[in-house]
Amino acid sequence: MGNTKMNKAIILIMVFFSLIGIAYGESLPAFPEAYFGTITGASAGLTITANIGGTTVGSITTTHDGVYGGAGASDEKLFVCAAGESVCTSGATITFIASGTDSGSSAFTPGGITQLNLSYSAAAAAAAGSTGGAGGGSAATTETLTEIASDSYIINRLEKSLPEGWEDDNLKYSRVGDASTETFGKNTPAGIEEAIEHVTSTKAISVLQELKAGFESGEKAKAGVTRTLTVYNIENLDTGDYVYRTQITLVVTAPKDMKKIKVVEIIPKTVAKSTDDLAFTGETPEVLQKDPVVQWTIDSLKKGKSLDLSYTVKKKLSSIKSYTIAGGEEVVAAPPEEAKPPEEEEDKEDIVPPPKPKYGWLVAAAIVLIGLVGYFAYTKKKERK
C-alpha cells in the first residue's frame, strides 16, 4: 500500500511539472507506464525488473504465486520510468527480467496502464546463473534456495547420497526452486514397448512383457502413477563446495482393490549409468538390471489408497526421463454364502409322546382304603356308646 501511494504521488508530481513545462515551453521527462499481469511458473517473493538499454527503470516483487501487480486502482503495479530516466523515450523497448532470465518485453508507452503476461522458468534461471556445473563448485547466486530445517526427514534421505567424506562436515541443505509433479501417462502396453527398448536383461524384459500381456487381456489392472521431482543443493560450509541431488518420488494409487502389485522403474543411462548412481530410501527395490531397472513389490493396496516410493539421483535433473510401469491383480470379492434353508421341523403328528406312568389307580385305591378305615372306626366307636 505504501508503494502504491508513493507511485501515485510520483505521477501527480510528474503531471504538475508537465504543466509547468507547457507553460515555459521546456522539455520534461515522460510519464511513467504501469504494468501488471500473470507470470507463469513464478512463486511469491520473485523480483521482476524492467530494463531499457541496460538501465533498470522499475521493479516489483511478487506477493502471490503466478501474478505480479493487479488491475484494481489500489493494486500495486510495476511502474516503469517513474524516476524519469533519460533512456525513457516513447517506443523504447522494455525488457522484463525475472531472477536473471528474460521473461518478456514491451514498447514503452508514457502514461499507459498495460496488462502484460510474462513467463518464468526456475530451471532456466538456475542454468543462467550456474557457475559451478551440475555436480559441484560454488553455488549459483541466482538460484532460489529454500533452506531445509536441520531436523527434517528430508535430510535423513539425502544423507544416503552424500559424497564420500562429507558425513561429518558442516553441511547446509536447500531446496532449489519448487518441486514439479506430473501424472505418468505411459503406463500402458504401448508405453511398455517403449520402455523395453531401454532394457537388456532377460529378467526385466520378462517382467515387463508379463505386465503388458496382463494389461491387454484384462487379467491385470493398471495402477495410477504420479511423479514428483525435487532438486536439492547441499553446500559444504567447511570447504565451500556444493553438490546437487534430485529426489524422485513415485506415488502409486490403486483404482480398485489390488494385490501382487509390481512397480518397475526403467531409468535411462543418461540419468544414471547404474544403480550405484542412485540412493534408495524407504523400501529397497529389487534390481532387475544394473544400468538400471528396479522393481518394488506391493502385497496389497485398497481402492483409492496410495503408497510412496522414492530414490535420489546423484546429480541435478530438470525433468523425469524414466518409465514407471505399475500393475497388479484385482482383488475379486468372494461371492456371498448362500443361506442354508432351516431344517424342516419333524411332523409333530408323527412324534408319539412317551407313555406316562399309570399311578392314578393307586391314588384312588388309597383314598377308598382311608375312607373305609375311617368309616369302620367311627361305627365301632358309636356302638360302644
CB 75 within 8 A of CB 11: no
The phi, psi pair for 29, rounded to 5°, reads -60, 155
Looking at the structure, give the CATH architecture of the domain made up of residues 2-120: Sandwich (2.60)
Q: Across residues 54-65, what is the average pLDDT?
A: 87
Residue 75: per-residue pLDDT:
87
What is the distance between the alpha carbons of residues 73 and 70, in angstroms, rounded to a whole number?
8
Q: Across residues 228-257, what is the average pLDDT?
A: 94
CB 320 within 8 A of CB 216: no
Tell me which H or E stretch contains 8.
helix 2-24
Residue 322: per-residue pLDDT:
95
pLDDT digits (tens, 9 = 90+) for 331-359: 987 777 666 666 655 555 555 555 555 55
Alpha helix stretches (DSSP H) within 149-284: 153-158, 189-196, 202-217
pLDDT digits (tens, 9 = 90+) for 191-217: 999 999 999 999 999 999 999 999 999
Sort strands 33-40 and 113-115 into parallel, antiparallel or unpaired: parallel
pLDDT digits (tens, 9 = 90+) for 167-195: 888 999 999 999 999 999 999 999 999 99
**C-alpha cell, 126:** 538456475
pLDDT digits (tens, 9 = 90+) for 126-148: 544 443 433 444 444 578 999 98
What is the distance between the alpha carbons of residues 247 and 310, in angstroms, rounded to a whole number?
7
Residue 24: per-residue pLDDT:
39
Q: Across residues 110-126, what is the average pLDDT?
A: 79
Residue 315: per-residue pLDDT:
93
Confidence (pTM): 0.53
- Domain spans of the chain? 2-120, 131-330
Residue 371: per-residue pLDDT:
66
